[in-house]
Amino acid sequence: MASMGLRERQKASRRERILEIAKTRFQTDGYTATTIELIAKDADISAVTVYNYFDSKAGLLLALVSESDQLLIRQLKTMIARKPANLVDAVASFGQILRRHAMSYLTKSTWREVLSASINEGSSDFGRTYLELDNVLIELMHAMIVEFQERELIPASVDSAALADCLFSLQNIRFFQFIADDNRDDEDIDRRLRRDLESLKAVFSA
Amino acid sequence: MASMGLRERQKASRRERILEIAKTRFQTDGYTATTIELIAKDADISAVTVYNYFDSKAGLLLALVSESDQLLIRQLKTMIARKPANLVDAVASFGQILRRHAMSYLTKSTWREVLSASINEGSSDFGRTYLELDNVLIELMHAMIVEFQERELIPASVDSAALADCLFSLQNIRFFQFIADDNRDDEDIDRRLRRDLESLKAVFSA
DNA sequence: ATCAAAAGTTTTAGTCTCTAAAATTTTCGT
DNA sequence: ACGAAAATTTTAGAGACTAAAACTTTTGAT
């Protein structure tokens, strides 16, 4: 990257700087208490410049979230590599890793901002970034299912991509519910997700 | 209700008036173009008074949405009474009725506001109202499944409540995706939902 | 009917997100 | 070094929302 001109280097480093400052601010003072003005002051720039780098306050937050994604992906891959014994356990583990990772990073209240913005801004940068994130996770779910097929625990005739999308979605809505309700804990959701899969098994095995 | 004092009657009628005005404004000018200030002016009250009746602009919108619910419920009941031939068709119809009803009432963009607020305000009035709405729909899904069990198309051993919750959730996330993306049409989602159910059938019937 | 308390409304003043545009500064290619 | 291009800052403003003080209306007791 030595070929980058001053301008480009400045742009990249300024972006990093904003992200860095926002991260600590969000963590120490919380999302709502952190104003864009404050972040700008910390970074010695004007508030408008922050908007020049990020679409919105929520967009800044999402950029931070997507940074943490590499770790999440690694954790999921490790789980998949351990070859879970059955689909129900596998999907449940998948969800659990997601939830725990989410909670290690942000509070539920802050996650609500992320999810809420992800719906509202399907077209913006934010929306696109979020969709990419989801797609990576769906890819992982897919890989997991293909492995089940290779081990012949799932018939090869099943459309693995369709199933991956569907199972991820099911897990995802339970994640939404987990985030939406402060009183719902990890085990609560784990039970519910397992119950979902068990009832589906019950109807369709008939 | 003749027993209500002046105060209570005024309160109710003012609430109705705000709702009425907001409804026409939202429909003619759109949600974002309609400011609280404008609604207040139309209703001959101050903007702060609007906030006295509704938590937020999105809350006002939700109050409007929940008004339209009676019609939706009737449509779903009619569909259920027609005794659909199989689960897949039934769930697909359920979703289709929801989407069409939604589109007959508000634009996708406006629905995004509703959904986004529903996540962000789990605790507020808004959140509670929205949960109630969902619960009514889950109840209907449940009734439908019980009917399937009565017709012995689904084994009586299946936990009908768990299944209803799960199938509603699955349908619901596809509804979210429908709303989130302007380019996704009704048939698109219908196909996807059917594919979801078919792949689940394929895995679990093995 | 009168009057004080209760309830509801308005005014005011302010914070915060976000946008647009004009003015200014910085970097870049020549 | 100089003009063009790009980024940044200033300024000005809209709009959602909040808190509190000032005011008006309704109510219930006398």
Instruction: Give B36-46 pLDDT, tens digit per residue.
Output: 999 999 999 99
The pLDDT, as a whole number, for residue B4 is 67
Q: What is the length of chain B?
A: 206
User: What is the mean predicted confidence (pLDDT) over A97-113?
Assistant: 95
Q: What is the pLDDT of residues B126-155, one digit of tens each?
A: 888 888 999 999 999 999 999 999 999 999
- In this prediction, residues B45-58 reach a mean pLDDT of 96
pLDDT value at position B2? 43
The pTM of this model reads 0.92
Q: For residue A4, name the pLDDT band (cuts at 50, 70, 90).
A: low
Q: Which residues of A touch B119 (CB under 8 A)?
A: 112, 115-116, 119, 176, 179-180
Give the pLDDT score at B1: 41
Closest nucleotide to B38, Cα to C1': D15
Contact B165/A at CB under 8 A: yes
**Which of B65, B145, B152 has the alpha carbon at shortest distance from B101?**
B65
pLDDT of residue B3: 54
Residues in chain A: 206
Q: Locate the chain A residue with the closest alpha carbon to B116.
A: A116
Homologous superfamily (CATH) for A1-54? Homeodomain-like (1.10.10.60)
Radius of gyration of the CA atoms of chain B, in A: 20
Residue A140 identity: L
Per-residue pLDDT tens over the stretch A24-79:
999 999 999 999 999 999 999 999 999 999 999 999 999 999 989 999 999 999 99
Distance from the Cα of A185 to chain B's closest Cα (Å) equals 15
Distance CA(B109)–CA(A29), nearest Å, equals 32
**Could you give phi then psi for residue B64, rounded to 5 degrees?**
-65, -45
Complete DSSP assignment for B113-159: HHHHHHHHTSSSHHHHHHHHHHHHHHHHHHHHHHHHHHTTSS-TTS-
Q: List CB contacts of B187: < 8 A, sequence separation 6 or more.
A: none
Note the pLDDT tens digit of each residue in A188-202.
Answer: 999 999 999 999 999
Find the helix or strand (DSSP H, E) in which A83 lies: none
Asked if the Cβ–Cβ distance from A159 to B195 is below 8 Å, we say yes
Closest residue of chain A to B163, computed from CA coordinates: A199
- Mean pLDDT of all residues belonging to chain B: 93
Q: How far is CA A88 from CA A153, A169, B17, in A?
A: 12, 15, 52
**Whole-angstrom Cα distance, residue A56 to residue A174?**
27
Q: Provide the residue ranges of all domains of chain B, joining segments of one domain with +.
A: 1-54, 58-205
Which has the closest alpha carbon to A130: A27, A181, A55, A79? Answer: A55
> What is B58-205's CATH topology?
Tetracycline Repressor; domain 2 (1.10.357)
Q: Is the pLDDT of residue A1 over 60?
A: no
